[in-house]
């Protein structure tokens, strides 16, 4: 493992040296390329330097101890050796995680689609709750949320809503949200106070870049129509809403949130490309790892991943067995504890696989 890390360290030092080259500084494209590579390998290189420093400190303390010392100094050196060993162990584990293969989509923007499942109007209302939760989480992390399409119900819920979360690392944070979210609560329309169970599906798509997926224009059918909805800002009198159908797959995407037909068309194309590319990736991944399933998983849309139980104030993520009794905080965007636990579980599973 450490032979591989030394390569990263040498490359990092080499790139740092290039930044002082006037020819590199004058070439914006080359300079940006070097800075991007530095950013990618810097965590490994810096952690390895810390690891080597801890090893050296341990060796120095051992040498001083071997040269002879009184009882007081011996105790001090023993403590320093123990501390250094703990650091070496800690940095070694951190380096193993840093060396795990990274998801190439992690730094991308993300397109999220929430759809009402079982439960009728109650499921539609919970769609709006999840949309609000993700929006508040995104705001706390400095991400931008942009609405793409919303099919609103009379009571303020959504049969379907899609939106983009933009920001560096957005997909890395949101990718584990894909799946079936179950809610257990007493609906406002329930006169007898009975608890209902409803479901909502969440799809998470990394935004596809133009170079990643090319669509033949002849495979697309474009339709325009007037924006519709429960009322207010979603209704206009011009045919600005856009529907795109990908003829070979039958995939349909709609966008009606912008007043401009061209802006809606651009957004709809982004969603379409992301959907088609994601389906292609999932098919490839299924073929590669048909017999192996990750502990956490990111793309099982029919898998029940989480339950929100209002009467008990409980949120349970079934993939990692995590239960938190803070439903109000979580629904107000405080998702970090759950998301961080999912990321840690995913890393642990990958580390286990790499060791096997």
Per residue of the chain (356 residues), what is the pLDDT tens digit?
566 788 888 888 999 999 888 998 898 989 988 998 898 889 888 999 999 999 999 999 898 888 876 777 888 888 999 999 999 999 988 888 787 777 778 888 999 999 999 888 999 999 999 999 999 999 999 999 989 888 888 888 999 999 999 998 899 999 999 999 999 998 876 667 789 999 999 999 888 765 456 778 888 888 887 766 544 444 454 567 888 888 888 888 888 777 778 788 888 888 888 888 777 777 755 654 443 344 344 434 456 899 999 999 999 999 999 999 999 999 999 999 999 899 888 877 876 776 65
**Residue 181 near residue 130 (C-beta atoms within 8 A):** yes
The pLDDT of residue 309 is 96
Q: Which domain holds residue 250?
A: 110-288+299-349
Last residue of a domain, one of 45, 67, 98: 98
Cα dist. 10→46, 51, 55, 268 in Å? Answer: 11, 15, 19, 45
> Would residue 105 count as lying in a domain?
no
Question: Which H or E run includes 255?
Answer: strand 251-255
CA-to-CA distance for 253 and 144, rounded, in angstroms?
22
**Residue 314 near residue 323 (C-beta atoms within 8 A):** yes
Looking at the fold, whether 86 and 165 belong to one and the same domain comes out as no
The pLDDT of residue 330 is 96
Helix, strand, coil in percent for the chain, rounding step 5: 50, 20, 30
Q: How many domains does the chain have?
A: 2
The pLDDT of residue 150 is 87
Q: Return the CATH number at 225.
A: 3.30.70.1660
> Would residue 277 count as lying in a domain?
yes
The pLDDT of residue 276 is 84
Looking at the fold, whether 149 and 266 belong to one and the same domain comes out as yes
Looking at the fold, whether 223 and 344 belong to one and the same domain comes out as yes
Residue that is written with structure tokens 């008990």 in the block: 312
This model's pTM is above 0.85 = no
> Would residue 200 count as lying in a domain?
yes
Looking at the fold, whether 268 and 154 belong to one and the same domain comes out as yes
Looking at the fold, whether 89 and 114 belong to one and the same domain comes out as no
- CB neighbours of 238 closer than 8 A, spacing ≥ 6? 226, 259, 261
Looking at the fold, whether 220 and 283 belong to one and the same domain comes out as yes
> Would residue 356 count as lying in a domain?
no
Residue that is written with structure tokens 């939106």 in the block: 163
Last residue of a domain, one of 98, 133, 157: 98
CA-to-CA distance for 187 and 179, rounded, in angstroms?
23
**Nearest CA among 213, 204, 148, 142 for reference residue 171:** 204
CA-to-CA distance for 264 and 126, rounded, in angstroms?
26
Looking at the fold, whether 176 and 54 belong to one and the same domain comes out as no
Last residue of a domain, one of 64, 98, 132: 98
Looking at the fold, whether 27 and 82 belong to one and the same domain comes out as yes
CA-to-CA distance for 251 and 242, rounded, in angstroms?
14
Looking at the fold, whether 222 and 330 belong to one and the same domain comes out as yes
The pLDDT of residue 69 is 67
- CB neighbours of 223 closer than 8 A, spacing ≥ 6? 242, 243, 244, 245
> Would residue 293 count as lying in a domain?
no
The pLDDT of residue 356 is 57
Looking at the fold, whether 91 and 213 belong to one and the same domain comes out as no
Looking at the fold, whether 147 and 59 belong to one and the same domain comes out as no
> Would residue 103 count as lying in a domain?
no
> Would residue 259 count as lying in a domain?
yes
**Nearest CA among 347, 325, 310, 279 for reference residue 97:** 347
The pLDDT of residue 110 is 92
> Would residue 43 count as lying in a domain?
yes
Looking at the fold, whether 62 and 134 belong to one and the same domain comes out as no
């Amino acid at each position: 493992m450490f032979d591989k890390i030394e390569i990263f360290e040498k490359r990092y030092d080499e790139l740092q040296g290039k930044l002082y080259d006037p020819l590199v500084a004058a070439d914006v494209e080359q300079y940006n390329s070097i800075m991007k590579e530095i950013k990618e390998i810097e965590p490994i290189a810096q952690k390895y330097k810390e690891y080597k420093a801890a090893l050296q400190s341990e060796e120095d303390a051992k040498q001083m101890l071997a040269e002879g010392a009184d009882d007081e100094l011996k105790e001090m050196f023993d403590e320093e050796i123990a501390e250094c060993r703990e650091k070496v162990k800690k940095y070694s584990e951190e380096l193993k995680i840093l060396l795990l293969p990274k998801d190439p989509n992690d730094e991308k923007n993300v397109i999220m689609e929430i759809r009402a499942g079982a439960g009728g109007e109650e499921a539609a209302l919970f769609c709006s709750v999840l949309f609000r939760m993700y929006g508040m989480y995104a705001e706390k992390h400095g991400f931008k949320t942009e609405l793409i399409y919303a099919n609103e119900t009379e009571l303020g819920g959504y049969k379907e809503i899609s939106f983009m979360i933009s920001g560096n690392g957005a997909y890395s944070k949101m990718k584990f949200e894909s799946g079936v979210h179950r809610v257990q609560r007493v609906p406002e329309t329930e006169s007898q106070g009975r608890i209902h169970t409803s479901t909502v599906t969440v799809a998470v798509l990394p935004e596809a870049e133009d170079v990643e997926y090319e669509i033949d224009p002849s495979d697309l059918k474009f339709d325009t129509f007037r924006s519709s909805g429960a009322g207010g800002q979603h209704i206009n009198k011009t045919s600005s809403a856009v529907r795109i159908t990908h003829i070979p797959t039958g995939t349909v995407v709609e966008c009606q949130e912008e007043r401009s037909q061209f802006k809606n068309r651009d957004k709809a194309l982004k969603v379409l490309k992301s959907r088609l590319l994601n389906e292609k990736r999932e098919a490839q991944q299924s073929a590669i790892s048909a017999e192996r399933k990750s502990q956490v998983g990111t793309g099982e849309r029919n898998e029940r991943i989480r339950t929100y139980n209002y009467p008990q104030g409980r949120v349970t993520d079934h993939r990692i067995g995590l239960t938190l009794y803070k439903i109000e905080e979580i629904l107000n965007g405080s998702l970090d504890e759950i998301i961080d636990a999912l990321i840690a579980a995913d890393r642990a599973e990958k580390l286990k696989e790499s060791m096997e």
